[in-house]
Amino acid sequence: MIRAGVAGAVFAASATMAAADCGPEPGACEIEGGTYHIALPESPPTGAIMFIHGFGGSGAGSLRSAWVADALEAGYAVIAPDGMPREGANGRRWSFHPDWPPQRDEIPFLTAVRDDAAARFSLDAEAMVLGGFSIGGSMTHYLACAAPEAFAAYVPVAGALWRPHPETCAGPVRMLHTHGWRDTTVPLEGRVVRGQDVNDPDAWVQGDVFYAMSLWREMNDCVQLRGDRFDVSNAFWVRSWDRCAPGTALELALYPGGHTMPDGWAALMLSWLDGLQPLPN
């Protein structure tokens, strides 16, 4: 269960409206290197979810997503960092791929957002969850791969690792990856975004979600596949790997839609978080 008791936190006036501000203060929260937004529940938060927007989006836009109200009602603060501005275009982007020239070193920035929000709003940085949509989901995977202990759990949606796939990561994780079966923007097997084909050395090529899950199974030491769980009784088809290293968690949730935040994702994600056990010391 990724929650922590807090006292004396500053909190918002409504759990059903997520203002794109710095908690009760107007405008974005500013730190060195960038900005972020945060929405707080009516009562002092019992947990926090940082969510990374997709390509061309913004932190303020992330807080307008329907799932945010459900997270606030459940007692979670929702933190929405801003990517860097796109040159000559609206919206923002992330320097998510470690092999491409960065506009900003995103992992130190996102961990700085974590620490600033924790200090400013009396949140538990060690219990914070990281998620994201599309490129934000890819950024989530790459941060989890490079610095798995930076967040207590990871909940990416519709975005994973890109090619060339990393061969290993720094350690195990607790992750729920959600993806649309009919997603053609970020297909499960990936696609060429820029360039001629997958053999073009300068091409930008999305990765294979099933490769990413295979890598996470390896990192989580899921060596025994017998006894894993399948649940196809609800809107999401969920595959859970249970026979893994203590303190880890890994699930893949598929839904029949395309490249969208699916209805019911908040309930799925919050239930999964509530079922997690504390990491062993």
Q: Is residue 9 part of a domain?
A: no
Q: What is the pLDDT of residue 10?
A: 40
Number of domains in the chain: 1
Q: Is residue 14 part of a domain?
A: no
Q: What is the pLDDT of residue 16?
A: 40
Q: What is the pLDDT of residue 4?
A: 58
Q: Is residue 140 part of a domain?
A: yes
CATH of the domain at 100: 3.40.50.1820
Mean pLDDT for back-to-back runs of 10 residues, the chain (281 residues): 49 48 94 97 96 97 97 98 92 91 95 98 97 98 98 98 96 98 98 79 89 97 78 94 93 98 97 80 38
Q: What is the pLDDT of residue 18?
A: 57
Q: Is residue 8 part of a domain?
A: no
Q: Is residue 227 part of a domain?
A: yes
Q: What is the pLDDT of residue 8?
A: 38
Q: Is residue 24 part of a domain?
A: no
Q: Is residue 76 part of a domain?
A: yes
- List beta partners, residue 49: 78, 129
Q: Is residue 7 part of a domain?
A: no
Tell me the per-residue pLDDT of 114-146, one tens digit each, with 9 for 90 and over. 999 999 999 999 999 999 999 999 999 999 999
Q: What is the pLDDT of residue 226?
A: 61
Domain of 235, in residue numbers: 29-275
